[in-house]
Structure 1
């Protein structure tokens, strides 16, 4: 049986799970985190809020709300750029981990479930060697689902056949 890994990730967490030989439920293999992404994002948000709040008072006194918008956009853009760079760095780290694991023959097939923006970053960061083993991609943020929910979503079980052997429209309840 092939060793199938599933990477479930966003810009701060990458959970690596394996489909077990008994086919029962995904099992945890590794977890990579980038605490700096969440921490710097929160700091940037607070810092940006503080500067925008100061601009609100100034803009309100001068009765020029359009000036407030330009200050806000500059601040938000600076924070987003830094978060984007942090996320790209984390994507490179996850991709390097996957390449190392591949070289150590830890998996033979790879499925990726990631928040849409992070999925794009991960695709760019992955080597061709790893990319060739990707058999499925899901562009959804599911990193916080528990293992059972992930298993049900990614490896749905075929419905059990009815006891009475009925088929067609009569089989629906």
Structure 2
């Protein structure tokens, strides 16, 4: 069986689907939430500083980027484990454009070698049938 995993993600949520043949319906096999990815930068800074209140002049994207990197690492590790356990032989990723680059940078080499294609589009809010319509027919 040549299983393909399809990861659909943004910086705060992700879903993994599996398909065994081209044109086959997708089956959701995993769901991940990272609510910190939706937090405002000033709120993340306030949490890090431990004072509970954000300052308007602390608007900085570094805390949000750090949260996105953390989530990308978590997802990459899950993909690595799936690969080493032989759960898939091909990988397809559809992710929000800014998150796609972060995610690709966190994939280990053997996992990234299984990556057959990517789509720089956020599909996380769509139902499974709508997601399937955005994917290549060959999956």
TM-score bucket of the superposed structures, by smaller chain? 0.7 to 0.9
Count of residue pairs the alignment pairs up: 131
**Structure 2: distance between partners of 1:9 and 1:82:** 19
Q: How far apart are 1:117 and its partner, in Å?
A: 1.0
Residues 7, 17 of structure 2: 8 Å contact kept: yes
Residues 20, 27 of structure 1: 8 Å contact kept: no
Matches within 5 A, 1:60-139: 71=57, 75-77=58-60, 80-139=61-120
More helix by share: 1
- Root-mean-square deviation (CA, aligned residues, Å) is 2.4
Q: How far apart are 1:43 and its partner, in Å?
A: 6.5
Q: How far apart are 1:131 and its partner, in Å?
A: 0.3
Q: How far apart are 1:107 and its partner, in Å?
A: 0.5
Residues 22, 137 of structure 2: 8 Å contact kept: no
Q: How far apart are 1:83 and its partner, in Å?
A: 0.8
What residue is the counterpart of 1:146 in the other structure?
A: 127
Q: TM-score, normalised by structure 1?
A: 0.68
Q: 5+ unaligned residues in a row in structure 2: which ranges?
A: 47-53
What residue is the counterpart of 1:16 in the other structure?
A: 16
Q: TM-score, normalised by structure 2?
A: 0.83
Matched residue of 1:120: which SS?
helix
